Amino acid sequence: MPQPQFRALKERLLHAGIAPKHVRRYVAELEDHFDDLVHEETTRGLDKSTAENAALNRLGDDETLAQTMLDRPELKSLTARYPWAVFGIAPPVLLAVAVYLGILANAGLFSVVGAAPAVGADMPDWIKAAVAAWHGLLMYAAPLAVAVAVGIIGLRQRTEIAWLILGASIVVMLGSFLEIGMVWSELPGQSSLSVGLHVSGKNALIGGLVRLPINLLVLAGFYWLWRRRESAHEQ
Amino acid sequence: MYRGSDEVIAQSNPSFMNGVPELLILRLLQAREMYGYELVQTIRAETGNVISLGEGVVYPALHALEKQRALKSRRKDVGGRTRVYYSVTASGAKRLTALSTQWARITGAVGTLMGEARHAAAAI
């Protein structure tokens, strides 16, 4: 946690789009430098308070410290430079990757139990239950996990709230209509797995429209928790 | 950015001083790895306090040079504290050579001009 004198600087740099890793390191280095200068000044005979003032003077005022960092556009984060990509394109891609990896894990389960070539209705019940549970987790948790990840990236970098809402909404909307289903066939090797956005048919539409506000509510809960945590840190 | 006798030059014509912090940083770090405070004190000591950086502003330059792969950094525990030490990479060494050549040309040209101006003044 930064010393009080650098807290405002940290917030200003994050809001201006400097990558959090550079901001964290810059503030940590300034704090160390400040301690070294105070030590140097007290060794020369100054009392602590005067030494701290002298140290701050030698480091440079807030405006200079901020401006020299802001004059380096290469230190800005990807999120600050290309918010449309991070919050518009990346979220659906991430969701697709998460679902794909989940399905791969599913195939891995069949391999582990040695049933990959002959998946059928005669599979043990525990496998069917595990597969159903896994698909349920992917359908309901993956979109939320991606939306939360996108939100955390944006919140850490103090991105404008509009971008966060855009990114999270895209994932949550897609996720609300995401359907993963397994149809077990009596014939070995003929069972099928379907993945897609289920928007055709009244029931599918209603199901998605019910999940949408629930997902948004869960996300709002995460946002509230984050704000609470940040307030606790500031105090 | 600069205090002391260079302050007027730096403030009235910042572009004139462009590249100087990088040159000094690369030159000193080529000799040995250093952390920020150590680097600033070395600049002050080796230039006889003629060039005295606003001490905090050295870090953005270090970060930028590292981003450009001219420097590399590593964390090192010293006396119970973790310091970030910077050193010059091969690419940084090439850049130092280029900057040094450029700087020698500028100082040479300015020196020649100043010499001519002195001769002209003496003739008058």
Question: How many contacts (CB atoms, under 8 Å) link A and B?
Answer: 60
Q: What is the mean pLDDT of residues B99-111?
A: 89
Q: What is the pTM of this model?
A: 0.72
CB-based contact A69 B60, cutoff 8 Å: yes
- What distance lies between CA A123 and its chain's CA centroid? 37
All residues at 6 or more sequence positions from B24 whose CB lies less than 8 Å from its CB, including other chains: B43, B51
| Pairwise CA distance, residues B78 & B74, whole Å | 12
Q: What is the pLDDT of residues A171-217, one digit of tens each?
A: 988 888 888 888 877 777 677 778 888 777 777 778 888 888 888 88
CB-based contact B60 A68, cutoff 8 Å: yes
CA-to-CA separations, B80 to A25, B77, B86, in angstroms, rounded: 18, 6, 19
User: Mean pLDDT of all residues in chain B?
Assistant: 82
Given a cut of 70, is residue A121 above it in pLDDT? Answer: no
Q: Which residues of B have a CB under 8 Å from any CB of A?
A: 1, 35-37, 40, 54-57, 59-61, 63-64, 67-68, 81, 83-84
Q: What's at A167, amino acid-wise?
A: G
- What distance lies between CA B69 and its chain's CA centroid? 17
Q: A189 phi and psi, to 5 degrees?
A: 80, 0
Chain B residues touching residue A26 (CB < 8 angstroms): 59-60, 63
Question: What string of DSSP letters covers A115-161?
Answer: -GGG--TTS-HHHHHHHHHHHHHHHHHHHHHHHHHHHHHHHHTT--H
Which pLDDT value is given to residue A118? Answer: 58
Chain B residues touching residue A32 (CB < 8 angstroms): 35-37, 81, 83
Distance of residue B111 Cα from the nearest chain A Cα, in angstroms: 30
CB A178 within 8 A of CB A139: yes
CB A37 within 8 A of CB A59: yes
Q: What is the pLDDT of residues A36-88, one digit of tens each?
A: 999 999 999 999 999 999 999 899 888 889 999 999 989 999 999 999 999 99
Q: Which of B55, B61, B64 sits opposite A60 (nearest CB)?
A: B55
- What distance lies between CA A171 and its chain's CA centroid? 12
Given a cut of 50, is residue B2 above it in pLDDT? Answer: no
Q: What is the pLDDT of residues B42-92, one digit of tens each?
A: 988 888 877 766 788 899 999 999 999 999 999 998 878 889 999 999 999
For residue B10, name the pLDDT band (cuts at 50, 70, 90).
Answer: very low
